Amino acid sequence: MQKADTGLQQPPFSSHQDPYLKSRFSSDLALNQLYPVSSQLLAEKHWTPLNIARKAARYLANEEGARILDIGSGVGKFCLAAAYHQPKAQFFGIEQRHHLYHTAETARMNLALPNVEFIYGNFTQLDLTAYDHFYFYNSFHENLVDHDHIDESIDYSVELYFYYTRFLFKQLEKMPSGTRIVTYHSLEGEIPPGFNLAGSVMDSQLKFWIKH
Ligand SMILES: C[S@@+](CC[C@H](N)C(=O)[O-])C[C@H]1O[C@@H](n2cnc3c(N)ncnc32)[C@H](O)[C@@H]1O
């Protein structure tokens, strides 16, 4: 029997050869310009820089088909950059602010990367055991300070910081041996004792952990 011609279903380039993607992921400026100005203004303080995303993604995507969750995905910058650099892993992001989730979705559609998905909600609603590895850019920290908030659309409190940190700690405790997490600028209260530090770079701001 003649094989069906699937040529039309194949993208003309792999992600790394696609000139549009190549130029979008060539610099933070080029990627940030994909977003509305309001999101661009938050980039320096709140969204992961490309060189960090690349390093974190390389560590997390240790096996083909790994499911990696960004806890507090914002406008999706980490997930999109990670998905571009690690096409054999699946990246997921959960974000509590609807407008940021919507912005991430718009960017995802623009880039048409097949291995990234965004979820709207609070991470406490997710079953983290459905994922293999995690990325965490100090998402709860805005509860501890009264400046540099992303916006004033949610309530902040020190109690919420400890509640979320404890919740994540308890979820990570349940994860099997081999689970990896990369933290960026974290105070590490969410890391249970079973996780060992496998390495750190960028003046110890970026840390690579693995559960033994
Ligand atoms: C520092 S930003 C990092 C964004 C993204 N991970 C990146 O690296 O570009 C942290 C994000 O976590 C989100 N966040 C904080 N607490 C959350 C929670 N409990 N559930 C879901 N998202 C949360 C915030 O709304 C914010 O967008």
Name the pLDDT band for 13 (thresholds 50, 70, 90): low
CATH code at position 83: 3.40.50.150
- pLDDT over 50 (residue 142): yes
Residues 195-210 have a mean pLDDT of 97
Residue of 48, 125, 139 to mutate, ligand 1, most atoms within 8 A of C-beta:
139
> Which atom of ligand 1 lies closest to the CA of 138?
1
Does 48 contact ligand 1 (Cβ within 6 A)?
Answer: yes
Cβ of 190 less than 6 Å from ligand 1: no
Rounded to an integer, what distance in angstroms lies between the CA atom of residue 136 and that of residue 113? 21
Q: What does the pLDDT average to over 178-203?
A: 97
pTM of the model: 0.93
Q: Residue 7 phi/psi, 5° resolution?
A: -50, -40
Alpha carbon separation from 97 to 64, 108, 119, 154 (Å, rounded): 31, 17, 10, 8
52, 70, 73: residue to mutate for ligand 1 pocket, most atoms within 8 A of CB: 73
Q: Is the CB of 92 under 6 A from ligand 1?
A: no
Q: How many domains does the chain have?
A: 1
- Three-state DSSP class for residue 128: helix
Would you say the CB of residue 115 lies under 6 angstroms from ligand 1?
A: no
Statement: residue 6 has pLDDT above 90: no
Tens digit of each residue's pLDDT (9 = 90 or more) over 28-70: 999 999 999 999 999 999 999 999 999 999 999 999 999 999 9
Q: Is the CB of 25 under 6 A from ligand 1?
A: no
Tally of CA atoms within 13 A in the half-sphere of 2 that contains its CB: 3
pLDDT at 192: 98
Domain span at residue 189 reads 4-211
What is the distance between the alpha carbons of residues 95 and 88, in angstroms, rounded to a whole number? 23
Assess whether the C-beta atom of 91 lies below 6 angstroms from ligand 1.
Answer: no
- 35 in ligand 1 pocket by Cβ < 6 Å? no
Please tell me whether residue 104 adopts helix, strand or coil conformation: helix
- The minimum-distance atom of ligand 1 relative to the CA of 184 is 8
Report whether pLDDT(5) > 50: no
Cα–Cα distance, 109 to 101 (Å, whole number): 12
**Residue 137 in contact with ligand 1 by CB distance below 6 A:** yes
